Amino acid sequence: MGKHIGKVSIREKFKLFNDYWNPRVIGELNKQQVRIVKIKGEFDFHKHDREDEFFLVIKGMLRIEFEGKIEELNEGEFIIVPKGIIHRPVADEEVHMLMFEPETIVNTGDIMNDLTILNPERI
């Protein structure tokens, strides 16, 4: 991605793609990535053994389902899912989300399936 100095429009970045569950990298710092994704429907339950996850809802309403608990996030709200916690994002309608994660994280955590993205596209 190279060194970039200048502002980034998250709104404009979301206009560059229309698919779901396919995160894009829009920035990097200190071996962390700023990723955006559009989601709709249910993801699989999974966990990350070594990484915490940060989810910020830009547009829509997101549910994060945990064992025995559900958190609902509206626009402008975020949640940090600690490593080792089983969870599942769910979006009844299209959600635009920003994530801040280590560059080594795999979106599906401890499972591999057709939603697994090993090398997210940089936009």
What digits encode the pLDDT tens for the residues 12-51? 999 999 999 999 999 999 989 999 999 999 998 999 899 9
pLDDT at residue 107, rounded to an integer: 67
Determine, yes or no, domain membership for 103.
yes
pLDDT at residue 106, rounded to an integer: 66
Determine, yes or no, domain membership for 11.
no
Determine, yes or no, domain membership for 17.
no
- State how many domains the chain has: 1
Determine, yes or no, domain membership for 14.
no
Band (pLDDT 50/70/90 cuts) for residue 122 is: confident
Determine, yes or no, domain membership for 34.
yes
Checking if the pLDDT of 75 tops 70, the result is yes
- Structure-token pair, residue 39: 């989601």
Determine, yes or no, domain membership for 100.
yes
Determine, yes or no, domain membership for 51.
yes
Q: How far is the CA of 101 from the CAs of 3, 7, 38, 44, 68, in angstroms?
A: 19, 20, 16, 18, 25
Determine, yes or no, domain membership for 35.
yes
Domain that holds residue 43: 25-122
CATH code for the domain in which residue 40 is found: 2.60.120.10
pLDDT tens for residues 112-121?
Answer: 767 767 677 7
Band (pLDDT 50/70/90 cuts) for residue 2 is: low
